[in-house]
Structure 1
């Protein structure tokens, strides 16, 4: 499930794009705020890609659970969709709030991206726990 909410769109627009001829930023040694912002956003992008892959696996596992159940017991797919939608709303609100530590400043995108990466990594771990419980 790939959702690009308004916060994500604003973050993309606020993150400066690297020109093709500019050298790649060494995130392990980044010191300038624009580089730190870029590196934090890259970390979020990587976490989001991993989350999307694990979510697809979790959806397959939920579909399998529903196939094994009957009648009123079916609902793993809908439960997964519901929790993911609720989590996205929580993540976006929480990370917008995190940005207020430097509201309007150069570090705001870094704080938002860092929050997005951290919460996305935690959600991926939760989905992996679901997969493990299903024997995957």
Structure 2
């Protein structure tokens, strides 16, 4: 049975396992544009380009986390001022550290899942790195928002 306006899929048609950017509105507009590594001359260069981008974005997560951690620590110290115990409360700082550890585990598992889409083929490394860049950029935005909520815009 074929519904009106629908064509049955034939053996010659393929379905991508990775949704196109038009189907992923949650991605930032700048990431929906042209592939920044498209001009590379070989699969190895293409993968290396994405690996460098993924690694750079991941290191930027560490920088954003440190900014957020410092803001959380300052807020915790202000909250603790004048307390009877003289001990610093760690309400935000500890939860931020827990959140970051949970995110890091998610990051590893999600990107490994996406890498496996290529079933070990030449696209595996690029898929891994694209995921790393995407999730890192999302986490940076989350950490910057958290830091902004507790200490104002940076």
Normalised to the residue count of structure 2, the TM-score between the two structures is 0.66
2:59 alignment partner, one of 39, 49, 52: 49
Q: Which has the larger radius of gyration?
A: 2
Deviation of the 1:74 alpha carbon? 3.8
Structure 1 position 82 matched with structure 2 position 98: yes
Deviation of the 1:89 alpha carbon? 0.5
Structure 2 unaligned blocks of 5 or more: 1-35
Distance 1:36 1:121 in 2: 20
Q: Which runs of 4+ in 1 moved over 6 A?
A: none
Distance 2:125 2:49 in 1: 10
C-alpha RMSD of matched pairs (Å): 1.9
CA-to-aligned-CA distance 1:85-131 (integer Å, 9 cap, x gap): 00000111001100111021011011011101100110000001012
- Give the aligned partner of residue 70 of structure 2: 60
Q: Answer yes or no: is the 8 Å Cα contact 2:73–2:90 preserved in 1.
A: no
Aligned pair count reads 111
> Higher relative CO (CA 8 A, sep ≥ 6), structure 1 or 2?
1
Q: Answer yes or no: is the 8 Å Cα contact 2:38–2:46 preserved in 1.
A: no
SS at match of 2:122: coil
Relative to its length, the structure with more helix (as a share) is 1
1:108 alignment partner, one of 121, 124, 136: 124
2:135 alignment partner, one of 108, 115, 119: 119
Normalised to the residue count of structure 1, the TM-score between the two structures is 0.75
